[in-house]
A and B are shown apart, each in its own frame.
Chain A
């Protein structure tokens, strides 16, 4: 094995290890938060407002004296919840739409892809604001908005995959043998699309976490007493000159998570497609 190849493999693996580490810690932290938290994340302590890290509060406190470590752990829960749900919805709906469009072709293909384009053309933030006004600003509307905005990407991937497969011989062969369309889809199309879908899912998770932070920052995401990183950033803005910690801690948590998901996505893409 040449030195170049070895180095390439090691560096490629580094991405994977780092990504797994980052996300692993995140998931563990989120799970841990169900069982144990250093403090009640809502407990206010006005004697210790905006304090820097101390033994009692390893990451400092916010403007109400609430412990930042506890809140950031709880925020992990929120981030994963919103991310996975939004991407999960987008994946399911997008795949379905993409498969239908690709397989049925013609007019239905046009209609579906036009609708998908509309969703793509519509900024997720404006969509979230509209939804927030119709229903309530909250986790649900943020998730829906992010989900809808992510559907087009998955739809395109699946549709492209379907179009590639459609013409291949083994589909013809399968048909000749009497296989139904559904089975063809499942047995041939999905595995073909699975690689790109998983890679995209990881990348979309990164985007979803960023999007949720932005929405919460604008006040359209999780409600005030559910600590999410975007929320925490929003509230910390006014106090940056008095203490940078309430702004640094959730910001770094976001970077951690987004980095983790993109590294994972890249690593998986390398695995699936070693030429790139």
Chain B
């Protein structure tokens, strides 16, 4: 338990730091790196929660594929496009300020009252064996209970492929013609 607490504190702080970097950094590259930090810290947290396969996929898909794509696009449209974060609309700032105050107030309320039960359906201490996310345990459920949702992702990926072609193909054709 203590090991888990130490991992949680370290990785939780890294994740929060990364998240704040995403929002605050003026250069999109730093935002991207902050997001990468958050994703990797979450992967470590998943391992400590016995979600092994999720952790592996988190690193491979998110940190590997998604972030690479992000950084690729950032580099493509230019790293020097730093943004002036002070330019924003006052109305929006006000809304965000009110929202932030509400969220902080809510968090303080949670901290003071201690009455907020995040997982009311849970009974007692977690059973480690039941949620040991090995490839076998995940696969068995994925291809029985969740098989229709799994098939539905095929539609999703078709949409992504056809959509990307539709958005990008036209330009190539015109470039050839010119």
A and B are partners in one complex rather than unrelated chains: no
Which residues in A have some Cβ–Cβ distance to B below 8 Å?
none
